[in-house]
Structure 1
Amino acid sequence: MGRDIFNHLNHAFETPLSNPVLIFALILFIILLSPILLRWIKIPGIIGLILSGVIIGPHGLNLLEKNSAVDLFSTIGLLYIMFIAGLELDMNEFRKTRHKSVLFGFFTFAIPIAIGYPVCRYVLEYDVLASIMISSMFATHTLVAYPVVNSYGISKNEAVAITIGGTILTDTAVLIILAVIIGASQGQLDQQFWVTLGISFAIFLFIMFGIIPRVAKWFFQKVEAEKTSHYIFVLSVVFLAAFLAELAGLEHIIGAFVAGLALNKLIPHSSALMNRIEFIGNAIFIPFFLISVGMIVDVSVLANGPTALLIASTLTIAAIFSKWVAAWFTQLSFGYSAAQRKVIFGLSSAHAAATLAVIMVGYRNNIIDENVLNGTIVLILVTCIVASLATESASKKVVLAGDQDEITSERNVAREEQLMLPIANLNNMEALLDFATLIKSKHSPHPITVLTVVPNNEMAEHNLQRARKNLDSTAKYASGSEMEVSVTATIDHNIANGISRAAREVGADGILLGWPSKPGIIEKMVGEKTESILNQTDTSLFMCHVDKPLVTHGRIVLFCPPLSESELGFDYCMEKVLRLSQELTVPVQCVCDERTEHALSDYLKRNKSSTRMLFSLHNEWDDLGSLRQYVKDNDLIVFLSARQGEVSYRHSFDGIPKKLAQVYAQYNRVLVFPKRRAGYQLDEYEDVSTAPILQRIGRGIENIFTRDKH
């Protein structure tokens, strides 16, 4: 019996492993432990996973062998890498510096190929196709060191912006060259090949940029509640794009990259959907691909003789040197400092995702040999370490030179920002949380405070328990986008008093409210709840009506009445509008007067914003109905109002939620009240009146019996 047990165990653990459950468990343990263990010696996680693949692969301990399951997961991971690369590109930054990005993209594409080709052709003596493929691999780069510049506060430095823009151009150009090389390797590089490639590529681009975004926008709008369906839809688009690319004679990785660019605008970087995409990719698919790359590597080739080591060192030196030359030419062209040149070099010298994609395709098509594959792994290891060290050193010099992103007092507020979200109606809770997620500062470590106020009556204790139970669903929803929330329920005689007190307790910088419902007769005469909240708080307040997906908007229309720029909280509110614009990748059409236009233009320059803002001059602010001419069907409306008594307040702002709701009933809209100086709120016993009581009663009666012309 003991022998049977021993034989059973021996068979179960016989290498290479054949039990799919055991194989999957082993890979999950590697994905879990390798980054943790290698973090101690400062080796990037990507290298740790590749090294793990080397150890367990056929050329290491032979625990795993390449089979159809491994190949499937590996292919999914490769497509995922390219998809996320296209999805995470900041299109606003690219538009802002597109001319300089184009020139840098040309330098960082052409120079590595110009240096790499003669090295591969004449020094390493590879054939023409292999030399072109290896040198084009030198041209790619992955922004491994971007978190470094972000942590030093220089992410908006122009040198950083053009490097990001250049990534789009050089990676796209390399992927197209890859398609041509594959065609040439199969003996298809004739006139028919070029005609077929041109036509099929045009049709492919039309489908991806003309049809897919429209279908995606329709799907996100019609299937709004089914969050799981959104992820499955996106994944389907990725694999459909990869298949269409293959039909067009291109590599499937080009399809995945283009799918990321096509859906870029429809998936905000801070959204729950983006979090799901990155989470599943980073947890399973991408690590699987990196491990499978390591399984191909044969370390013994490096030990067989000097040839393999010579190839690895030559590839690494050529890759690093060519990227340095490209950064140097960029410095000369734009007059950058030595520190900025070093930042460009650090960001663009790391080879990882795109490099692996190109080399794997070349290896599978027998264009390059094992020596180049192994040499590329060494190249990735060395360049990732060099890029991280160079970027950190250069970032310190840029900061010392005074080129750090300007941090105004308002931005200091943003770093410690506290947002509060009073919930009265659970039906609009998800929309408000999504909106809060998009506008919240990424620098703030504080959670969003979700508040519900329970009336202080004989049922207060029971209602409080029910409110806390309802808030649990809010916290569960927020966890989907990894947005930390702090839920709290409180008792107060008056809802406005409860919100005001809670806002002071947490030091709220912004309060997000749902759009007010239609008031009853008594509320019309003595003052509505939202008006009471406005009177009793000083902080910036955002009144939101969001009943359509935010990603379906083509632009933000911002109404800035005269003297809005003089309000205390103007900068903070503008930061939120610009952040929303960047998340949705849409321009801002600002309707204002000439003075406000100058103030906004200065604000954009001062904060180095990449948002595209267009201006329309308007001077008739007493007739709010005249603003309708600036609004199109797919616009998100943001109106910058003011509390009564503030410098930009106008009589036409009385009852403005009702007026906007009548004119823009079918639109998503946000009514913003900037922060005011403390001490202007009413006494807690003066809820009823903000003006003489007779004026308030008269206006209430007028609201009941007449219809506002607006």
Structure 2
Amino acid sequence: MYLFAHIDFSLPLEDPILKFLLILVIILAAPLLLNKLKIPYLLGLIIAGAVIGPHGLNLVLRDSSIILSGTAGLLYIMFLSGLDMDMSDFRHNSWRSLVFGLYTFCVPLLLGILAGYYVLGFSIYSSILLAGLFASQTLIAYPIVSKLGIARDKAVTIAVGGTVITDTLALLLLTVIVGMATGNVNEMFWWQLAGSVALCIAIIVFVFPIIAHWFFKQVSDNISQYIFVLAMVFLGSFLAQLAGLEPIIGAFLSGIALNRLIPRTSPLMNRIEFVGNAIFIPFFLIGVGMLIDYRAFFRDWESLEVAAVMIVLITAAKFIAAWLTQKSFRLSRDQRTVIFGLSSAHVAATLAAVMVGYNVILGHTPDGEPIRLLNESVLNGTILMILATCTVSTFATQRGAHNIAVRQTHPDTDEKSAKVEEHLLIPVANEQTVEELVALSVMLKRAKEPGGRLYALHAIDNQVEDPSAEKRAEKLLETAATTAAASDIYLQELMRYDVNISNAIVSVSRERNITDIIMGMHQMPPSMPGLPVLPGISGASGPGIGKMTADVLMQSNLTTFIYHPVQPLATIKRHLIVVPEKAEQEAGFKLWLRRIRLLAENSGAKVSLLAPESTLAYLRPRERRRPDNIDYVPFTQWDDLPSLGHDMRDDDCLWFVMSRRDRVSYHPSMSRIPAYLEHHFAGYSSVLLYPVQAGDTESRYIRV
């Protein structure tokens, strides 16, 4: 017993190790236990927080450490919602988000004012402030849609955008009403409010991306990049707080600002989601649970009356807003359920508003009791309302999101048959380019698509005696596997002895049923000005191709990407893809075009397809709406390719869709492209794309 005498086991727990251990056990166990009861894990963590909190078993106090971690978790939720957004869809649906934001603000505001003034007998200022509580909402159920993989569904985009709008309006209403109730509203008040809000938004939206782009370009350390992102989230939140907005607005805008610089398939994105879902967000949910006081049910009739009015009217108002949105934009019932679920929870902005209203004292009664803008019954009712709305939110979101996810995993027959199981091979030989080759491969692959495989191959020439060859190979393959694992993608390592490197690549391609090869561009030594033209391969001479690559292109007929990275792929702002005439007549046209569309979807960077007008007709998607980040530009200057330099900007990546000699889309200028890349476009990343082509044989491998 003496061994434990120095440890304080009294309740509430004070020992930081015990407190942290208890919370980690809850984060681990609560979802596992409650999932068997079909209770969403978010609600399980809230219930667990209520049980261990000061109003439950009093195991842990809601002290500064819980509040700090919880605040970080709430900001994380809003930041992830901005980071996960498909910016193309967000721009396309921005007016829908605006309409939903007005619906979900105005309907609760109207019902709240009527209920506060006529049902509960509050003053007009107190009634308006109560209505502001009704209007605000918290994306507490967002991790559910993110986990189920529907974060880019139209309904989620509308709900997230609408949440920012309604929370901003609700918190601005709070600022104005408190100012009017205390007599502090004058002409200067309006100018200061408008100026500070505009300045805050401008700094986050326009300055943050510039700083982040510079940082990611200069610093490649994984830990430094993550800490930088975290710092930007809190800086954006602090700027919003300075401007008189709620910090969650700044966190969301920070996510929007960094959206394009953190691709959703990147290792950095995987780290951000992992740490948030493992630590910060669960801490926030447990902290919310600690606020719940079950004794408020039995404290007094007025608290119960206020809570009942708030719960019924808030739920009804949010459902009406979701229903109006569904009818306005012809959404499905499941999408309506998701919108209702995401918008019905009230935590962050609601707590902020009720505490501000509770702390504003308008005067005193003859007995000396303070007259508050929002009384204690509203405060108690808000706590009960938080529990009820979080429960409704998690169940509704789980149901609607699950149905949408199930539908997305069962595509139409035509769509399913069009999909080919993808196997990407990455030959690695240069440790300086391994990570970028893997990054490009991940960007060209559909995110988390089952069935596909990623392979890294290091081939060793068995005619060369080199005792250290295997160690170098193991290091290269380990680097490739680690880079892919950081994006939550499994990469299989392959090491092969063969008579030559090209033969190893082609043989593995046959054995593993490879669909695409992503390899580095050959770097020509200064003493070798060029290579002789190899028969059958355009572009086989000059720097950039090399004999080994030319041999691979001669012996295989696979979609092949030859990549020369000059800067990190995530910092590329625009991909210029030059397409030759009649490219649509090649056998692999749809295959490489699908990869380019995945590049646009996964990276978020601008993609400009430059081609003759006759080919552009086949490049443009048949659907009425095309992705906002893909442009289609007429281009006929294949005889003067260096003129492209006039249109190049910093952070561009130049792609050329190539052709083997004597094929349909071959152009004589293609033989000079490697030299152009060295002399005219040396400062830019570049990719040579060789599609599958029908020649003397329809086989995927060409006999030579």
C-alpha contact (below 8 Å) 1:110/1:139 kept by paired residues: no
- Aligned residue number for residue 579 of structure 1: 598
- What amino acid is aligned across from residue 672 of structure 1 in structure 2? L
**How far off is 1:328 after superposition?**
3.8
Please point out which of 201, 208, 211 is paired with 2:204.
Answer: 208
Match of 1:459 among 465, 474, 477: 465
The separation in 2 between residues aligned to 1:295 and 1:287, in whole angstroms, is 12
Contact 1:554–1:586 (8 Å) recurs in 2: yes
**Distance in 2 between residues matched to 1:105 and 1:600, nearest whole Å:** 36
Residue 55 (structure 1) shift: 0.5
**C-alpha spacing 1:238/1:596, structure 2 compared with 1 (3 Å):** same
Query: SS at 1:669's partner residue?
Result: strand
Q: Quick one: structure 1 residues 5 and 545, their matched pair in 2 at CA, closer, same or farther if it must change by over 3 Å?
A: closer
After the TM superposition, which of the residue ranges 238-247 and 474-483 deviates more from structure 2?
Answer: 474-483
3-state SS, counterpart of residue 279 of structure 2: helix
TM superposition score normalised by structure 1: 0.85
Is the CA contact (8 Å cut-off) linking 1:308 and 1:375 kept in structure 2? no
* Secondary structure, counterpart of 1:512 in structure 2: strand
The question of whether the paired residues in 1 share the 8 Å contact of 2:98 and 2:165 is answered with: no
Code of the aligned partner of 2:564: H
Q: Which one of the candidate residues 422, 425, 429 is aligned to 1:424?
A: 429
Q: Name which of structure 1's ranges 553-562 and 627-636 shifts more when overlaid on structure 2.
A: 627-636
* Structure 1 unaligned residues grouped into runs of 5+: 687-710
Matching residue of 1:90 = 86
What residue ranges of structure 2 are gaps of 5+ in the alignment? 359-373, 535-539, 541-546
Do structure 1's residue 383 and structure 2's residue 383 form an aligned pair? no
How far apart are the structure 2 equivalents of 1:31 and 1:399?
29
Distance 2:667 2:91 in 1: 37
Equivalence map 1:319-338=2 (5 Å): 319-334=314-329, 336=330
Aligned counterpart, 2:226 = 231
- Residues 601-627 of structure 1: CA distance to partner in whole angstroms, max 9, x if unpaired? 23455xx65343323212232432344
**C-alpha separation between the residues in 1 aligned to 2:145 and 2:58?**
36
Aligned to 1:602, what secondary structure does the other structure show?
coil
Aligned to 2:682: 665
Residue 318 of structure 2 contacts residue 344 of structure 2 at CA under 8 Å; is this kept in 1?
no
The residue that corresponds to 1:696 in the other structure is none
Give the match's secondary structure for 2:384.
Answer: helix
Equivalent residues in 2 for 1:339-350 (5 A)?
340-350=331-341
After superposition, the Cα gap between the structure-2 partners of 1:459 and 1:504, relative to the gap in structure 1 and judged at 3 Å, is same
Alignment of 1:116-131 (within 5 A): 116-123=112-119, 127-131=126-130
Which letter does structure 1 place at the counterpart of 2:633?
Answer: S
Secondary structure of the structure 1 residue equivalent to 2:60: coil
Deviation at 1:469, TM superposition (A): 3.9
Query: Can you list the C-alpha shifts for 1:402-428, whole angstroms capped at 9, x where unaligned?
Result: 9x6972644x12xx3211111011111
- Residues 314/389 of structure 1: CA separation in 2 closer, same or farther (3 Å cut): farther
Deviation at 1:632, TM superposition (A): 2.6
Residues 244, 406 of structure 1: alpha-carbon distance in 2 compared, 3 angstrom cutoff:
farther
Alignment of 1:477-556 (within 5 A): 477-518=483-524, 520=528, 523-524=531-532, 528-556=547-575
- Tell me what 1:185 maps to: 178
* Structure 1: distance between partners of 2:158 and 2:437: 33
Contact 1:141 1:167 in 2 (8 A): no
Residue 432 of structure 1 aligns with an amino acid whose one-letter code is: L
TM-score by length of 2: 0.86
| 1:562 to partner: Cα distance | 1.0
Count of matched residue positions in the alignment of Structure 1 and Structure 2: 663
Partner Cα separation in structure 1 for residue 268 and residue 502 of structure 2:
34
Query: For 2:139 and 2:306, how far apart are their aligned partners in 1?
Result: 19
- Which residue, out of 431, 436, 440, partners 1:435? 440
User: What code does the residue aligned with 2:351 have?
Assistant: M
Q: How far apart are 1:144 and its partner, in Å?
A: 5.8
2:313 match: 318
Q: Partners in 2 of 1:36 and 1:497 — Cα distance?
A: 50
Q: CA 1:405–1:660 in structure 2 vs 1: closer, same or farther (change >3 Å)?
A: farther
- Which residue of the other structure, out of 606, 631, 654, is the alignment partner of 1:637? 654
**Could you tell me which residue of structure 2 aligns to residue 625 of structure 1?**
642
Q: 1 CA distance for matches of 2:296 and 2:196?
A: 41
Query: 1:172-213 CA deviation, whole Å, 9 max, x = no partner?
Result: 342343144045336344433221111111221222123222
Query: What is the Cα deviation at residue 680 of structure 1?
Result: 5.5
Q: Which residue of 2 aligns with 1:301?
A: 296
CA distance in 1, matches of 2:485, 2:344: 29
Q: Give 2:389's aligned amino acid.
A: L
Which residue identity lines up with residue 132 of structure 1 in the other structure? A
Distance 2:17 2:643 in 1: 67
The alignment partner of 2:415 has SS state of: coil
Q: Give, in whole Å, the separation in 2 of the partners of 1:406 and 1:168.
A: 33
State how far apart, in whole Å, the 2-side matches of 1:444 and 1:399 are.
11
1:471 counterpart = 2:477: yes
Give the C-alpha shift of residue 93 in structure 1: 0.7
Name which of 613, 619, 623 aligns with 2:630: 613
Instruction: Give the structure 1 partner of residue 236 of structure 2.
Output: 241
- Counterparts of 2:252 and 2:403, CA distance in 1: 31
Match for 1:250: what amino acid?
Answer: L
Which residue in 1 is equivalent to 2:350?
359
Deviation, 1:263, is: 1.4
Q: CA deviation at 1:135?
A: 1.8
CA shift at 1:588, angstroms? 2.3
| Residue equivalent to 1:706 | none
CA separation of 1:638/1:34 partners in 2, compared to 1, >3 Å: closer, same or farther? same
Pairing partner for 1:263 from 219, 239, 258: 258
Deviations 1:310-365 (A, max 9, x none): 6555544434433443344344444x3xxx34133112111479732212323443
Q: Secondary structure at the match of 2:259?
A: helix
- Which sits farther off after the overlay, 108-117 or 650-659? 108-117
Structure 2 Cα separation of the partners of residues 597 and 470 of structure 1: 40
Task: Name the Cα RMSD after superposition.
Answer: 3.1
The residue type paired with residue 357 of structure 1 is A
Q: Which residue of the other structure, out of 24, 28, 41, is the alignment partner of 2:24?
A: 28
Task: Go from structure 1 to structure 2 and tell me whether the alpha carbon gap of 1:570 and 1:222 turns closer, same or farther (over 3 Å shift).
Answer: same
- State whether structure 2 residue 616 is matched by structure 1 residue 597: yes
Are residues 1:167 and 2:160 paired?
yes
Q: Once the 2 structures are TM-superposed, how far is the Cα of residue 479 of structure 1 from its aligned partner?
A: 2.5
Give the structure 1 partner of residue 363 of structure 2: none
- Which residue does the alignment assign to 1:37? 33
Q: Does 1:136 align with 2:129?
A: no
Residue 707 (structure 1) aligns with: none
Which is richer in helix? 1
CA deviation after TM superposition for structure 1 residue 18, in Å: 0.7
For the 8 Å contact 1:82–1:256, the answer to whether it is kept is yes
The answer to whether the 8 Å contact 1:547/1:668 transfers is: yes
Amino acid at match of 2:691: P
Aligned partners of 1:405 and 1:147: how far apart in 2? 26
Structure 1: how far apart are the matches of 2:557 and 2:306?
67
Identity value in percent: 31
Q: Which amino acid aligns with 1:437?
A: V
Q: Secondary structure of the equivalent of 2:518? A: strand
Q: Distance in 1 between matches of 2:54 and 2:149?
A: 40
The 1:566/1:320 distance shift into structure 2, 3 A limit, reads: farther
Closer, same or farther: CA 379–121 of 1 in aligned 2, 3 Å: farther
Q: Summarize deviations over 1:32-54 as a string: whole Å, max 9, x none.
A: 11111111122222111111100
Cα separation, partners in 2 of 1:392 and 1:431, compared to 1, 3 Å: closer
Q: Is the 1:163–1:348 Cα contact (8 Å) retained in structure 2?
A: yes
Contact 2:98 2:161 in 1 (8 A): no
**In 2, distance between residues paired with 1:552 and 1:558?**
17
Q: Which moved further from structure 2: 196-205 or 381-390? A: 381-390
